[in-house]
Amino acid sequence: MKNNPVLKIVALVVAFFVFIYFFIFYFFEDHSTDQNTLSAQEKAEGWVLLFDGETTNGWHMFSKPNMKHAWKAINGELTTNTNDTSGTHGDIVTDGVYENFELTFDWKIAREGNSGVFINVQDDTSYIATWATGPEYQLLDNANMQAGYLDGGKKGAGALYGLAPLKTTVEPNPAGEWNNSRIKQVNGKINYWLNGTMTAEEQIGSERWKGLVANSKAAVFPDFSKSTKGHIGLQDWAKGVSFRNIKIRIIQ
């Protein structure tokens, strides 16, 4: 090859195409397997996955555990779409119950979408819905809501829905793009974050809390937020919503 210019050219061409192949493979391959996993550090810190990326195991329809629901695991996302008629639409809740915990999750929502994550849900047929007992972390396509819907921030993404405006103003990413949220509850004190910004901080059962509830639509539900232990719920409400990387750790 040393003295053959043709072979040198062939070798250079082959090397070029090998480089291009690996470049494309690295930058354009499906990285979905990177999602819904725990690092060694997260495992050491006590984090566990509430969604395995492949099934809806660990979740069931609120108050109807044996009913086939419309939530699916698709391409590493726990998702529901209003056009899906293969199952009954409705909120799903975790099989397990949680009290003192930290929960993180990624979410994206359809244009004009509206959904939420509930905590302390009492999974009982005597309650009409998840929101009859559990406070909500609002998920919303803020930019495309009708005028006045945000209600001074009480109904915007990241808000303690219907109770208090955002502690710090922050806008979610546009419809169809991923956001990251965090919920922490310790002895009834709850904190919410949206994309790293704290959006809510309240103490369940305090005088302030009682006033917030009394001046909200939740006032008609006598058992709303009466417990600081319960299931975590995902709302199937409007348009479509997807979740991934749903992780929780118990706080001792």
Phi-psi region of 245 (alpha: psi -120 to 50; beta: other; left: phi over 0): left
Segment 69-125, tens digit of pLDDT:
999 999 999 999 988 888 999 999 999 999 999 999 999 999 999 999 999 999 999
Q: Closest Cα to residue 149, out of 56, 51, 238, 250?
A: 238
DSSP letters for 12-41: HHHHHHHHHHHHHHHHHS--GGGSS---HH
Indicate if 112 and 12 belong to the same structural domain: no
Indicate if 26 and 60 belong to the same structural domain: no
In degrees, to the nearest 5, what angle opens at C-alpha 146 toward C-alphas 78 and 127?
50
Indicate if 10 and 67 belong to the same structural domain: no
Indicate if 10 and 43 belong to the same structural domain: no
Contact assessment for residue 236 and residue 56, using Cβ atoms and an 8 Å cutoff = no
Indicate if 92 and 184 belong to the same structural domain: yes
Indicate if 13 and 90 belong to the same structural domain: no
Indicate if 3 and 90 belong to the same structural domain: no
Indicate if 12 and 86 belong to the same structural domain: no
User: Could you tell me which residue, 228 or 19, shows the higher pLDDT?
Assistant: 228
pLDDT score of 248 more than 50: yes
DSSP letters for 124-147: -TTSSSGGGTS-EEEEE-GGGSPT
Indicate if 92 and 120 belong to the same structural domain: yes
DSSP letters for 36-94: S---HHHHHTT-EES--SS--TTEEETT-TTSPBS-EEETTEEEEETT--SSB---EEE
Spatial strand order in the sheet of 136-140: 59-61, 92-94, 231-234, 114-121, 136-140
Please report how many Cα atoms fall inside a 13 Å half-sphere around the Cα of residue 163, on the Cβ side: 29
pLDDT score of 8 more than 90: no
The predicted pLDDT at position 83 comes to 86
Contact assessment for residue 113 and residue 106, using Cβ atoms and an 8 Å cutoff = no
3-class state of residue 202 by DSSP: strand
Indicate if 45 and 16 belong to the same structural domain: no
Instruction: Place 9 in a pLDDT band, splitting at 50, 70 and 90.
Output: low
Question: Cα(37)–Cα(53) distance, rounded to whole angstroms?
Answer: 8
Indicate if 126 and 217 belong to the same structural domain: yes
| Residue with the two structure tokens 């939530």 | 71
Q: What is the CATH number of the domain that holds 136?
A: 2.60.120.560
Question: Cα(54)–Cα(76) distance, rounded to whole angstroms?
Answer: 6
Segment 128-150, tens digit of pLDDT:
999 999 999 999 999 999 999 99
Domain hosting residue 14, numbered range: 1-30
C-alpha radius of gyration, the chain, whole number: 23
Residue 61 pairs with which residues in a beta bridge?
A: 92
Question: Cα(116)–Cα(182) distance, rounded to whole angstroms?
Answer: 13
Domains held by the chain: number: 2
pLDDT score of 189 more than 70: yes
Question: Cα(233)–Cα(240) distance, rounded to whole angstroms?
Answer: 15
Indicate if 131 and 210 belong to the same structural domain: yes
Question: Cα(192)–Cα(103) distance, rounded to whole angstroms?
Answer: 10
Please report how many Cα atoms fall inside a 13 Å half-sphere around the Cα of residue 119, on the Cβ side: 26
